[in-house]
Amino acid sequence: MRISDSQIAQVNHQIQALVSAGSFYGKKLEAAGIESVSSQEEFEKLPFSEKSDLRDAYPLGLMTAPEEEIVRIHSSSGTTGIPVIIPYTQKDVDDWAIMFARCYEYAGITKMDRIQITPGYGLWTAGIGFQNGAERLGAMVIPMGPGNTEKQLQMMQDMGSTVLCSTSSYALLLTEEIEKRGIKNRIKLKKGVIGSERWSDKMRQRISEGLGIELYDIYGLTEIYGPGIGINCKYNTGMHYWDDYLYIEIIDPHTLKPVPDGEMGEIVITTLVKEGAPLIRYRTHDLSRIIPGECPCGSCHPRLDTIMGRTDDMMKIKGVNVFPSQIEEILQAFPEVSSEYQIRISHLDGKDTMRIYVETNGSVDFADLANRIAAKVKSVIGFTPLVKVVENGLLPRSEKKTKRVIDERYD
Ligand code: ZN
């Protein structure tokens, strides 16, 4: 997706603000001797921002507007200890609500809907983002927050909630509880707005059929406002994102060069009008692609595909990008193999090779099974791996997360 002239002008405003605030990014630009950009090529020379930069700015080093204009902070969960603090001005809060209200509209939700919000409130951007967007739209909010399934189901029936906002796993739990209690006929839900994470088609179908609702994926991250920067429309051809607030690039996470539209890579986001904590070329480490062409809905907002995982999971083999999730899906179609597998990638005699180890019991022909799996991988991904079948229990197990992919090329 090319950057437009008006987006370039907006980026230059963000650059000026970052430099005069003396933030980490302003300093990066000064060190690189960059004062402004005037073309796609110059924009693509701007340094990236990383989550570690944001963490280093803890607590309030990202604050780019004067303190009297900051009205709120949010924080992202740091798996490594130090969280990231994002300051918001009133305009940031308003812009976020406008974007979120647009998401609801794209999902066909109106001010006549009753929106039950189950994501958490507090430092997280989740609950309050869903709420501000719904109020901006003019719908009725039922601000439940997470947990307390008993009360959730009671309110859902008594208030006649028509929209459920939730994570995919909580939506699944509610589906099962509703079925268990046989109260489906007392539930008025029509739509679900689900925080975007990688979830299987099987799970999506289970929730959609179990509750009899349409499901919408909403995208966002705390560093860039929060959830609500993109959503799929009813044609379900990817998530439209709001390019009047954001410029999105997809880069190859190894070479860091932008890839053409349609190709898979890492989502990199530049804010265009943010005041409290603007970010230029922020690496999300989320994997997706820009969907080329126009959506049947006629929207002028470009589309991102469903999030395919994290860059840390991606493997490039023989020039093809491969995700462990793709291999896992293929293996799931073979009832003979256990849930354990291991993928080893190496570089032998000038060529990349992928070996897949799977387990089975002694009752099947190992060689035949290996051939069938290899043929299936070839037909789905485009190259033939070496498949090695072993007895059940031979692959390593661990109490924590089992390491399933070993890339010997980078060891
Ligand atoms: Zn559309």
> pLDDT tens-digit profile of 381-405?
888 999 999 998 888 876 555 677 8
Question: Distance, CA 65 to ligand 1 centroid (Å)?
Answer: 35
- pLDDT at residue 398 in the model: 64
Question: Distance, CA 235 to ligand 1 centroid (Å)?
Answer: 6
- Contact by Cβ (8 Å): 296, 234: no
Rounded to an integer, the average pLDDT of 64-93 is: 91
Q: Which amino acid is at 361?
A: N
DSSP track, 294-336: --TT---S-EEPPP-EEGGG-EEETTEEE-HHHHHHHHHT-TT
Residue 313 reports pLDDT greater than 80: no
**Sequence-separated contacts (24+) of 372-376 with Cβ below 8 Å:** 372/334, 373/330, 373/331, 373/334, 373/337, 376/330, 376/333, 376/334
- pLDDT at residue 204 in the model: 87
Question: Distance, CA 241 to ligand 1 centroid (Å)?
Answer: 10
Question: Distance, CA 5 to ligand 1 centroid (Å)?
Answer: 24
- Contact by Cβ (8 Å): 262, 292: yes
Question: Distance, CA 46 to ligand 1 centroid (Å)?
Answer: 31
Question: Distance, CA 295 to ligand 1 centroid (Å)?
Answer: 5
Structure tokens at 70: 């900051």
For the chain, the straight-line distance linking the first and the last C-alpha, in angstroms and rounded, comes to 35
Question: Distance, CA 232 to ligand 1 centroid (Å)?
Answer: 7
Question: Distance, CA 60 to ligand 1 centroid (Å)?
Answer: 38
- The Cα–Cα gap between 155 and 312 comes to 40
Question: Distance, CA 122 to ligand 1 centroid (Å)?
Answer: 32
Rounded to an integer, the average pLDDT of 9-37 is: 95
- The Cα–Cα gap between 29 and 47 comes to 8
Rounded to an integer, the average pLDDT of 323-349 is: 86
Question: Distance, CA 300 to ligand 1 centroid (Å)?
Answer: 9
pTM of the model: 0.84
Structure tokens at 183: 């109260």
Question: Distance, CA 219 to ligand 1 centroid (Å)?
Answer: 15
Question: Distance, CA 197 to ligand 1 centroid (Å)?
Answer: 20
- pLDDT at residue 217 in the model: 95
- The Cα–Cα gap between 30 and 25 comes to 9
Rounded to an integer, the average pLDDT of 39-43 is: 97
What is the chain's Cα-based Rg? 23
Question: Distance, CA 250 to ligand 1 centroid (Å)?
Answer: 20
